[in-house]
Structures are given as C-alpha cells and as structure tokens.
Structure 1
C-alpha cells in the first residue's frame, strides 16, 4: 500500500476508536482505497452502489440530469464525508444520481454487504450506521428547507457560512445549480455583497 494511502487508511480507522478490536479487524479487512481523477464518475445514474465511499481527499458533486438535459447539482462531498446516495445504497436500488469528482480524489470504499454484516455483529458498528444516516438526513433536510424558507441571497450566505472550506473550490455554475439560482443572479448577489 502507498504510504499516503496508509496514512488515510489509519486516519479513517481512528474514527472507530470506540469500537472493539474485533469490530475494527473485521471492518478494516474489507476496506479498499482508490484514487479517482478529476471529472471521473464515482458512480452513475442507473447503477446500484455496491460500496459506500469515505472521502479522504478531494471534492465531489452529486447531480441528476433533468428532462431538458440540464445537470442539476444536489450536493457537494468533501473530505471526511460519505460519497453515497444513502437511501438507494441501503436498499441496494439503482441510484437516480451521478457522483463526479471535481478534484483528484482519494476514497475509501466500504462494501454494502460487509457494512450490513458489521451492523449485525457489533453494537458499535450499528451506532456508526445510525450516525452516517443522521449526517445524510441532516444534509438533505437542510437543503429542502433552504428552498422552502430562504430566498436566493439567504441560501448563498448560509452556504458560505456552512462550507467555508469548499466555497473557493466550486465553480460558479455548479454553485448556482446547487442553490437553484441563475448564474447571472448569483453573480449579482456576490457583487452586491462585495460592496457591503
């Protein structure tokens, strides 16, 4: 294993420090780690995601293609987050989304069947499964509520405040798609805020 890979691998396993040594040994024996190129798809619409990804390094975006052929961004996934369409992953159903690397990325992959097996075998694994589900639910709920209760400027401000580490790594077109704002409108909001 590459030295850099080992560093990420060890760091990921440290997040399971509350687990029993048996659980960590079981879990770690099924993990794989892979490099992905910029613009490479982690998975695509119509595929069943057999492995969930933990992003060690890089930035990805989740999107779908609407009936007009537009790519609509629904999320960004950076370091220490999971690259997954979690509801489809849990049910092992084909995903409606694409996940694309916006930067060269290093991702640890966790097989679905081994993840489920570890939930059954080890109490602490079950707790991690719940935490993963909670993280995904919070992100999805926040996005839906932002469209229900916030205007375009508030959505942009909240995104900046909640994602200071990735705001400069995302193109304006991807960000405007995610926020549901036309690119020109987003440019106007940004220049207005720059004058404040």
Structure 2
C-alpha cells in the first residue's frame, strides 16, 4: 500500500508540480487501495463507475461485448494509467464497458464524492482533474482517429511504438480485438515487417 501511495503522489506531482505537501497528504488521505487478482473485475458492464482507479502495479483491459457476443477490447492500462470509464464516473450512469485484470493488479481509488470534496479544498486539485480528463480525451480521440486514418499495419506499429512493453503481456486475441483485425492478418503483418 505504501508503494502505491508513493506511485500516486509521484504521478500527482508530475501532473501538478505546484501542489504542496499538505495538499498531497490531503489527497492521499481520501484514497483506498485494492489488490485484484488476474481475471478479477474492477468494473462490470451495467455497474456505475464509482471511483477513479489509478493503477500502481499490474495490467487491465477495458472491453465491451458486441451484438454477436464477442468481446471487443478498447484499451489496455498499466501502472501509471487511469482505469476508469470516465463517462460513467461523471454522469453516475451504468457503464457499457468491463474492466478486467490481465495480471494481479494494485489500484488506488478515489470515489466521486471524495474527488468533489478534494476539488473544493484547492484549485490545484481542480487543475489536476482537468488535466487528467484532457489526457483521457486525447487518448480516446487518438483511438477513434486511428480507425479512420490508419491502416491495420499502422495501428499495429503505433501500438508497438507507444506500448513497447505490453506486447508480451497481452494475448494475441485481445491485441487483435483492440486493433480491429483478424489473427491471420496480424500474423501476415508481423511476417512482412520481419522481412523488411
């Protein structure tokens, strides 16, 4: 738990370097820490996202189930990332997504109510909230545009570039689902790149 606190404080300082030690202590006092096992759920479809989850160790994936009953992976989140369906968190509406651990995972959580309380204590925390929301929005926009403007191969190369350590930690089926391609297509892409 102590290492989780330190990881979150380090992240806060990187996002908002002007936060004082007192402000950081106030923030950390509102956190709860959870250890989840592989395959355990942090959020299930139909539930409201009640807390922002900051991953201090481990790996999770976010997915939804399509009309054919297939799981469609929309994101992988590792240490230093926020595992949160932000729309559900803000609107208090049920989520259409599931967040599941791919490894044993430690998550620091801050409830919606505690986040609102923290915002009232300091404008520095409001800045933190805005910057985190902006980062989540940028990632979502980049993902949408990757399907509009990139080929399957370009999406694969972007994934390898932005997440070099993830390739060996996620299954090929989850990766193919995330990239929106068939397994055979990914095999052909990898073979072609290996011979370049």
DSSP 3-state at the match of 1:82: coil
TM-score, L = length of structure 2: 0.94
Deviation of 1:26 (Å): 2.5
Q: How many residues align?
A: 192
Runs of 4+ in 1 over 2 A off after TM superposition: 14-18, 20-26
Give unmatched runs, 5+ long, in structure 2.
none
User: How far apart are the structure 2 equivalents of 1:19 and 1:135?
Assistant: 19
Partner of 1:30: 30
Which whole-Å deviations, capped at 9, do the CAs of 1:61-93 have from their partners, x for residues lacking one?
A: 000001110000000101101010012111111
Partner of 2:55: 55
2:61–2:101 CA contact under 8 A, matched in 1: yes
**Worse overlay, 68-77 or 159-168:** 159-168
Partner of 2:132: 132
User: How far apart are the structure 2 equivalents of 1:129 and 1:151?
Assistant: 34
**Worse overlay, 48-57 or 14-23:** 14-23
Quote the RMSD (CA, aligned, Å).
Answer: 1.2
Partner of 1:88: 88
Partner of 2:4: 8
User: How far apart are the structure 1 equivalents of 2:27 and 2:96?
Assistant: 28
Deviation of 1:118 (Å): 1.2
User: How far apart are the structure 1 equivalents of 2:120 and 2:95?
Assistant: 25
Partner of 2:160: 160
Which whole-Å deviations, capped at 9, do the CAs of 1:91-150 have from their partners, x for residues lacking one?
A: 111110000000111111111111112112211100110111011111100100000001
User: How far apart are the structure 1 equivalents of 2:76 and 2:85?
Assistant: 12
Which whole-Å deviations, capped at 9, do the CAs of 1:31-89 have from their partners, x for residues lacking one?
A: 11111100101110110111111000111000000111000000010110101001211
DSSP 3-state at the match of 1:135: helix
Partner of 2:116: 116
TM-score, L = length of structure 1: 0.94
User: How far apart are the structure 2 equivalents of 1:111 and 1:88?
Assistant: 12
DSSP 3-state at the match of 2:12: coil
Deviation of 1:194 (Å): 1.3
2:11–2:80 CA contact under 8 A, matched in 1: no
